[in-house]
């Protein structure tokens, strides 16, 4: 890819700008253990199209080995700039502090130098863990390939239960189609924990490559020699990617695109040592790592027989899930019961395990819980460490626990224990002579519940009626108005003589239309009705009916039609009711 | 008519089969045949008899048989019906001295409520309720302020007695229950596969909480919760 870009540059006229050269060096990390290596990078940048290689200094006890060169060229608005990075691996052969003299670069009779670099090498215990050599299918990038894998394990010599980091990386400078099929590491003999996968880019021999990294933490369960891997992966190279075509030209691998590639790492040998048998503290239960210990009681003051919970937390780096119960020493006057534990692991190889034990004091007095210890083996320091919780104070009040508390304090109860003996003369005799009954709960008797409801109903009736009356009184006009037709029809239905008809009609007009019609002439009444929106025809019908009723009431009777006359008020009443119904419909 | 009355009197006078069994059980107990007595008492209980004396005697029979769990259950049931019975209080106190687990103090109000039966509290509450309702009705007839004060006083009394009743029914987190086996380990979950928690012993009063399959969660010794098989527990309804 870089070569192609260099070729492209030939087609552009170059105008050399003022000579601007930067020459600098850096090393990372600045401190390594013996057996590890640091990466030293020398960067040259400027407007030249090419730079000579820098002169490498010699350092006693440090091997500097070239590990590749990367070039980067930019043309922005016709302005040319380039950058070259030379990478060296700095491998110390002894511990100590190294001063790496400046690198030199001679360019057009000008000598450029970098600053002096420092590297500290500690004796350490780390075992060198260079990247595993790729297999046939996974040639390294140095060989000019754009797709390869590597794996590394650290440390390669570990103790049982010590975390071993196994890192697998897939480098690809070509576009892949779909997700590669990853065959996980065989972790037989280990407890494994996969950490979060990472994806990033990295420069390898001047080529920018995508890196997919999978990391697994392994805890060996038994000593011995183990082989980690090979780890296999299958990827398909995208045949349609222009990028891949260009990449093929660069690498000369014309058959790369569109092919499925099977890659695998070489197995890595690791040696697992047993935790030393000598110097093991009594409280050691197999924990390996670096931990802290703390504990507390949920109460400081209890009565005899009351439970109190002792919480112990172990936290730190290592496989906390493998930590067994913490052995508690005997606490005089306190019965300790079984322990519950709960562990949580963090993102890294850190975790926390909490042990909760129920304690029941059986004797009163000031109690001190001491001697709670936890030991672990520190693989880095290669020695055992023992932690202890500061004394916990518990004040126990009250009498001795009931029954045989004192006995149970020294010996855990078991199902085989016989029941306690009954006092010789304490038990009082049975009751006799009574008649058996089936005493029932009152609250479950329906009759009782019904009786309970009676006062509520009575109160509701009395106060409800009172409330309604008060409501009616407070809204009398509205009440009368709403009830006007019903009242008038009720009166007209049982009308016995002509006098009742005008009375009912006038009452209706007063209630419904708020019209004092009793003293009005029929003409005035018609006018008043018209002013309230009642049609003239309906007004005339109503006044006509009132005229008939008043006439019949005060006019001379016809003895021949006495029987017919008896029926006429009822008929007239029905007519009046019909008229009032019509009036109701049109009244405002 | 006279004949019918006589027949009814004869029927009432004749001992019912259950009563005969009860007397047989009492006789068996008096003669030291506690197992037989306990069986007969249990039979009567299964027939639906809910009697303080029956439960007391049943508790005694089991106490004699050294079955503290069932004895405690009998006494507790008797106490619900006759909470102020002196003999019962004595025997229950005696049984408590034999218990191996300490039970928490339920609190003054619950202890006060336990001095009365549920029916007593319901009855007295009802009396105050009727009194308050009657006074309120009287006030509707004659607007005398004295009636209102009477209503207020009756309601205060009703609240107090009703509160005791609530304490009795709801004062504990669950339903009272008695541990039956001599020793049983609470489990940390509803199954044998869960780890053991603290052990409980026969006769310990616990609070029965939720049920899950054949397992029941209980609150014991004030602050400890765990699971126990339902058959190892006698829940006092």
DSSP state of A134: B
Residue A19: its pLDDT value, please?
A: 53
Distance (Å, whole) CA B15 – CA A488:
73
Residue B28: its pLDDT value, please?
A: 92
Asked if the Cβ–Cβ distance from B201 to A432 is below 8 Å, we say no
Among the partner-chain residues A303, A422, A439, the one whose CB lies closest to the CB of B63 is A422
Q: How many residues does chain A have?
A: 588
User: Nearest Cα to A312, choosing from A385, A392, A368?
Assistant: A392
Asked if the Cβ–Cβ distance from A436 to B94 is below 8 Å, we say no
pLDDT range class, residue A582, cuts 50, 70, 90? confident
The position carrying tokens 């001697």 is A371
Most confident option among A135-139, B4-8, B42-46: B42-46
Distance (Å, whole) CA A229 – CA A540:
115
Distance from CA of B178 to the nearest CA of A (A): 16
Omega prior to A230 cis, within 30 of 0 = yes
pLDDT range class, residue B7, cuts 50, 70, 90? low
The position carrying tokens 């020793």 is B183
Among the partner-chain residues B57, B102, B123, the one whose CB lies closest to the CB of A442 is B123
Evaluate whether A340 touches A306 at the Cβ level (below 8 Å).
no
Asked if the Cβ–Cβ distance from B122 to A420 is below 8 Å, we say no
Question: Which residues make beta-bridge pairs with A105?
Answer: A112
Contacts of A307 in chain B (CB under 8 A): 198, 221-224
Contacts of B224 in chain A (CB under 8 A): 307, 358
Distance (Å, whole) CA A587 – CA B2:
76
Transcribe B50-71 into DSSP letters: B-HHHHHHHHHHHHHTT-HHHH
Average pLDDT for residues A424-443, to the nearest whole number? Answer: 81
CA distances for B232 relative to B127, B202, B204, angstroms = 41, 9, 12
| Per-residue model confidence as pLDDT tens digits over A480-523 | 788 888 888 888 888 778 888 888 888 888 887 777 777 778 88
Contacts of B82 in chain A (CB under 8 A): none
| Per-residue model confidence as pLDDT tens digits over A109-137 | 788 889 888 888 887 543 333 333 333 33
Backbone angles phi, psi at B228, to 5 degrees: -145, 150
Residue scoring higher pLDDT (A342 or B154): B154
Collapse the DSSP code of A38 into the 3-class scheme (helix H, G, I; strand E, B; otherwise coil) and give the result: strand
Distance (Å, whole) CA A147 – CA A145:
6
Interface size A-B, in CB pairs within 8 Å, comes to 158
**Which residues, other chains included, contact A356 with Cβ-Cβ below 8 Å and sequence gap of 6+?**
A309, A310, A311, A312, A339, A340, A341, A342
**Which residues, other chains included, contact A33 with Cβ-Cβ below 8 Å and sequence gap of 6+?**
A121, A122, A123, A124, A125, A126
Collapse the DSSP code of A300 into the 3-class scheme (helix H, G, I; strand E, B; otherwise coil) and give the result: coil
Backbone angles phi, psi at B179, to 5 degrees: -75, 130
Instruction: Using CA coordinates, name the residue in chain B closest to A400.
Output: B102
Distance (Å, whole) CA A500 – CA A492:
7
Contacts of B118 in chain A (CB under 8 A): 441-443
Collapse the DSSP code of B36 into the 3-class scheme (helix H, G, I; strand E, B; otherwise coil) and give the result: helix
pLDDT at A429 over 80: yes
Asked if the Cβ–Cβ distance from A427 to B60 is below 8 Å, we say yes
Distance from CA of A193 to the nearest CA of B (A): 26
Asked if the Cβ–Cβ distance from B119 to A430 is below 8 Å, we say no
A55-85 as b/e: b if 16+ CB within 10 A: ebbebeebebeebbebbbbeeeeeebbbebb
Question: Which residues make beta-bridge pairs with A394?
Answer: A367
Contacts of B70 in chain A (CB under 8 A): none
Q: Could you tell me the end-to-end alpha-carbon distance of chain A, in angstroms, rounded to an integer?
A: 96
- Mean pLDDT, chain A, whole residue set: 76
Evaluate whether A404 touches B100 at the Cβ level (below 8 Å).
yes
Distance (Å, whole) CA A349 – CA A320:
9
**Which residues, other chains included, contact A519 with Cβ-Cβ below 8 Å and sequence gap of 6+?**
none
Asked if the Cβ–Cβ distance from B199 to A337 is below 8 Å, we say yes
Asked if the Cβ–Cβ distance from B137 to A462 is below 8 Å, we say yes
Q: Which strand ranges, in their side-by-side order, compose the sheet holding A31-33? A: A31-33, A117-122, A96-100
Q: Is the confidence metric ipTM above 0.85 for this complex? A: no
Among the partner-chain residues A305, A307, A430, the one whose CB lies closest to the CB of B29 is A430
Distance from CA of B122 to the nearest CA of A (A): 7
Instruction: Using CA coordinates, name the residue in chain B closest to A459.
Output: B137
Collapse the DSSP code of B185 into the 3-class scheme (helix H, G, I; strand E, B; otherwise coil) and give the result: strand
Question: Long-range pairs for A130-136 at CB < 8 Å and ≥24 separation?
Answer: A130/A37, A132/A229, A132/A265, A132/A266, A132/A268, A133/A266, A134/A263, A134/A265, A134/A266, A135/A230, A135/A263, A135/A264, A135/A265, A135/A266
Distance from CA of B7 to the nearest CA of A (A): 21
Average pLDDT for residues A129-156, to the nearest whole number? Answer: 58
Residue B121: its pLDDT value, please?
A: 93
| Per-residue model confidence as pLDDT tens digits over B91-131 | 998 898 888 777 777 788 888 888 999 999 999 999 999 99
pTM recorded for the entire structure: 0.43
Distance from CA of A347 to the nearest CA of B (A): 28
Contacts of A297 in chain B (CB under 8 A): none
pLDDT at A16 over 50: no
Contacts of A456 in chain B (CB under 8 A): 133
Count of beta carbons in the 10 Å neighbourhood of residue A222? 11
Evaluate whether A243 touches A174 at the Cβ level (below 8 Å).
yes
Contacts of A400 in chain B (CB under 8 A): none
> Tokens in use for A256?
């790369």
Question: Which residues make beta-bridge pairs with A28?
Answer: A39
| Per-residue model confidence as pLDDT tens digits over B120-179 | 999 999 999 999 999 999 998 888 888 999 999 999 999 999 998 888 877 777 889 999
Asked if the Cβ–Cβ distance from B129 to A455 is below 8 Å, we say yes
Among the partner-chain residues B61, B202, B221, the one whose CB lies closest to the CB of A419 is B202
Distance from CA of B156 to the nearest CA of A (A): 18
Range name among A276-285, A314-323, A417-426 with the lowest pLDDT average: A417-426
Residue A216: its pLDDT value, please?
A: 87
Distance from CA of B69 to the nearest CA of A (A): 11
Among the partner-chain residues B57, B68, B119, the one whose CB lies closest to the CB of A431 is B57
Collapse the DSSP code of B87 into the 3-class scheme (helix H, G, I; strand E, B; otherwise coil) and give the result: helix
Contacts of B26 in chain A (CB under 8 A): 430, 432
Distance (Å, whole) CA A243 – CA A249:
10
pLDDT range class, residue A253, cuts 50, 70, 90? low
pLDDT at B70 over 80: yes
Helices (H), A235-304: 242-251
Asked if the Cβ–Cβ distance from A458 to B19 is below 8 Å, we say no
**Which residues, other chains included, contact B13 with Cβ-Cβ below 8 Å and sequence gap of 6+?**
none
Evaluate whether A385 touches A353 at the Cβ level (below 8 Å).
no
Q: How many residues does chain B have?
A: 237
Distance from CA of B200 to the nearest CA of A (A): 9
Among the partner-chain residues A429, A439, A448, the one whose CB lies closest to the CB of B50 is A439
Strands A268-273, A224-228: pairing is antiparallel
Evaluate whether A271 touches A327 at the Cβ level (below 8 Å).
no
> Tokens in use for A576?
């009046």
Element holding B227 (H helix, E strand) = strand B224-229
Contacts of A404 in chain B (CB under 8 A): 100
Disruptive mutation site among B199, B200, B219 for chain A (greatest number of A CBs within 10 Å): B199
Asked if the Cβ–Cβ distance from B133 to A459 is below 8 Å, we say yes
Collapse the DSSP code of A203 into the 3-class scheme (helix H, G, I; strand E, B; otherwise coil) and give the result: strand
Count of beta carbons in the 10 Å neighbourhood of residue A170? 24
Among the partner-chain residues B51, B57, B197, the one whose CB lies closest to the CB of A430 is B57
Backbone angles phi, psi at A509, to 5 degrees: -65, -35
Asked if the Cβ–Cβ distance from A402 to B99 is below 8 Å, we say yes
């Amino acid at each position: 890819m870089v070569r192609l870009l260099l070729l492209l540059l030939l087609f552009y006229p170059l105008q050399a700008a003022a000579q601007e050269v930067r020459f600098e060096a850096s090393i990372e990390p600045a401190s390594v253990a013996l057996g590890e290596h640091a990466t030293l990078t020398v960067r040259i940048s400027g407007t030249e199209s090419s730079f000579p290689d820098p002169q490498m200094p010699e350092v006693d006890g440090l091997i500097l080995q070239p590990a590749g060169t990367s070039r980067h060229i930019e043309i922005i608005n016709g302005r040319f700039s380039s950058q070259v990075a030379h990478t060296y691996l700095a491998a110390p052969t002894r511990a100590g502090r190294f001063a790496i003299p400046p690198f030199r670069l001679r360019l057009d009779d000008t000598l450029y130098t970098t600053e002096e670099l420092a590297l500290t090498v500690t004796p350490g215990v780390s075992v060198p863990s260079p990247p595993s050599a790729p297999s046939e299918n996974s040639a390294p990038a140095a060989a000019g390939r754009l797709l390869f894998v590597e794996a590394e394990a650290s440390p390669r010599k570990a103790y049982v239960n010590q975390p071993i980091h196994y890192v697998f990386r897939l480098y690809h400078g070509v576009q892949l189609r779909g997700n590669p099929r990853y065959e996980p590491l065989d972790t037989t003999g280990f407890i494994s924990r996969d950490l979060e996968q990472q994806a990033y880019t990295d420069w390898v021999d001047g080529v920018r490559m995508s890196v997919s990294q999978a990391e697994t933490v392994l805890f060996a369960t038994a000593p011995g020699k183990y082989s980690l891997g090979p780890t296999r992966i299958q990827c398909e190279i995208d045949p349609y990617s222009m990028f891949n075509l260009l990449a093929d030209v660069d690498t000369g691998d014309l058959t790369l695109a569109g092919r499925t590639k099977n890659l695998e790492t070489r197995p890595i040998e690791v040696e697992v040592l047993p935790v030393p048998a000598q110097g093991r503290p009594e409280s050691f239960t197999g924990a390996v790592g670096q931990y802290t210990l703390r504990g507390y009681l949920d109460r400081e003051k209890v009565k005899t027989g009351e439970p109190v919970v002792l919480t112990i937390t172990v936290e730190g780096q290592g496989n906390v899930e493998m930590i067994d119960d913490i052995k508690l020493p005997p606490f005089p006057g306190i019965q300790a019961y079984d322990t519950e534990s709960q562990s949580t692991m963090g993102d890294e190889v850190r975790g926390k395990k909490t042990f909760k034990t129920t304690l029941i004091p059986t004797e009163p007095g000031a109690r001190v819980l001491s001697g709670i210890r936890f030991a672990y083996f520190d693989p880095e320091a290669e020695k055992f460490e023992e932690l202890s919780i500061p004394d916990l104070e518990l004040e126990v009040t009250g009498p001795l626990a009931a029954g045989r508390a004192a006995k149970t304090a020294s010996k855990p109860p078991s199902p085989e224990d016989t029941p306690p003996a009954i006092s010789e003369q304490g038990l009082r005799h049975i009751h006799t002579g009574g008649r058996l009954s089936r005493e029932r709960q009152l609250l479950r008797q329906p009759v009782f519940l019904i009786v309970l409801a009676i006062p509520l109903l009575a109160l509701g009736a009395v106060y409800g009626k009172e409330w309604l009356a008060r409501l009616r009184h407070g809204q009398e006009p509205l009440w009368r108005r709403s009830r006007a037709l019903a009242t008038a029809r009720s009166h007209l239905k049982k009308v016995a003589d002509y006098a009742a008809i005008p009375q009912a009609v006038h009452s209706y007009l007063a209630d419904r239309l708020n019209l004092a019609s009793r003293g009005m002439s029929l003409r005035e009444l018609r006018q008043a009705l018209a002013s309230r929106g009642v049609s003239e025809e309906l007004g005339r019908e109503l006044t006509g009916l009132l005229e008939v009723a008043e006439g019949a009431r005060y006019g001379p009777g016809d003895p021949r039609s006495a029987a017919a006359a008896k029926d006429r008020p009822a008929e007239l009443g029905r007519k009046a009711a019909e008229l009032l119904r019509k009036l109701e419909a049109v009244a405002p | 008519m006279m004949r019918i009355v006589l027949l009814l009197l004869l029927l009432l006078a004749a001992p019912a089969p259950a009563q005969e069994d009860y007397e047989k059980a009492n006789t068996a107990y008096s003669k030291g045949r506690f197992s037989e007595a306990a069986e007969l008492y249990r039979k009567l209980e299964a027939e639906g008899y809910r009697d303080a004396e029956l439960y007391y005697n049943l508790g005694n029979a089991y106490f004699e048989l050294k079955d503290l769990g069932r004895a405690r259950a009998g006494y507790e049931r008797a106490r619900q019906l006759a909470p102020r019975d002196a003999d019962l209080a004595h025997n229950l106190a005696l049984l408590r001295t034999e218990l191996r687990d300490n039970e928490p103090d339920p609190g003054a109000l619950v202890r006060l409520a336990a001095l009365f039966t549920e029916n007593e509290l319901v009855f007295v509450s009802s009396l105050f309720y009727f009194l308050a309702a009657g006074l309120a009705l009287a006030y509707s007839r004659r607007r005398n302020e004295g009636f209102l004060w009477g209503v207020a006083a009756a309601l205060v009394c009703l609240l107090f007695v009703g509160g005791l009743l609530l304490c009795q029914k709801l004062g504990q987190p669950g339903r009272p229950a008695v541990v039956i086996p001599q020793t049983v380990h609470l489990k940390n979950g509803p199954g044998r596969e869960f780890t053991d928690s603290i052990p409980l012993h026969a006769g310990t009063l616990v609070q029965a909480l939720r049920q899950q399959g054949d397992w029941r969660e209980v609150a014991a010794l004030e602050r400890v919760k765990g699971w126990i098989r339902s058959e190892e527990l006698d829940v006092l309804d």
